């Protein structure tokens, strides 16, 4: 399996797990709000300390808190993308150097102008970056 496919599968799994966790928290807030409201009514039935307004305000506080947690779900993608980018960055750092440093060179005292004639360059054979570029620096 190619590295890109592995990263895509990993991203998909992380995203699904993150969204599932957010939905679990969000729906748990609903159930906790209902449970706590019922508990307040039953425990204080004889004193009538809690009326419907207090119960509804408590319930909606749980709902707003749960939906606030749900708002971070889209940012899981950014976290996963950042982790993938850092893995690729460290792969580049661990790579063996392919450039060969010259042991002897000529030191120039001064340079008056520089001409680059018909310069071609590519990272891969089929993807040229420069093709027959001529540049003149005074």
Kindly list the domain boundaries of the chain, sorted by start residue.
Answer: 3-94
How many angstroms separate the most distant Cα atoms in the chain? 99
The pLDDT tens digits for 102-114 are 778 777 788 888 8
Q: Average the pLDDT over 72-90 and give the result.
A: 82
Q: What is the mean pLDDT of the chain?
A: 80
**Residues above pLDDT 90, as percent of the chain:** 5
Confidence check: pLDDT of 78 > 60: yes
User: Confidence band (pLDDT; 50, 70, 90) for 46?
Assistant: low
Q: Average the pLDDT over 12-41 and give the result.
A: 80
Confidence check: pLDDT of 34 > 60: yes
User: Confidence band (pLDDT; 50, 70, 90) for 134?
Assistant: very high
Q: Average the pLDDT over 47-73 and give the result.
A: 74
């Amino acid at each position: 399996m190619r590295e890109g496919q592995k990263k895509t599968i990993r991203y998909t799994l992380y995203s699904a797990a993150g969204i599932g966790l957010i939905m679990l928290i969000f729906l748990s807030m609903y159930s906790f709000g209902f449970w706590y409201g019922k508990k307040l009514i039953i425990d204080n039935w004889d004193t009538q300390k809690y009326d419907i307004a207090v119960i509804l305000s408590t319930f909606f506080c749980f709902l707003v808190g749960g939906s606030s947690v749900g708002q971070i779900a889209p940012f899981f993608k950014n976290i996963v993308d950042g982790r993938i980018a850092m893995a690729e960055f460290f792969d580049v750092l661990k790579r063996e150097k392919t450039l060969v440093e010259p042991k002897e060179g000529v030191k120039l005292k001064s340079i008056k102008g520089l001409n680059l004639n018909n310069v071609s360059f590519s990272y891969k054979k089929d993807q040229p970056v420069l093709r027959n570029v001529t540049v003149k620096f005074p």
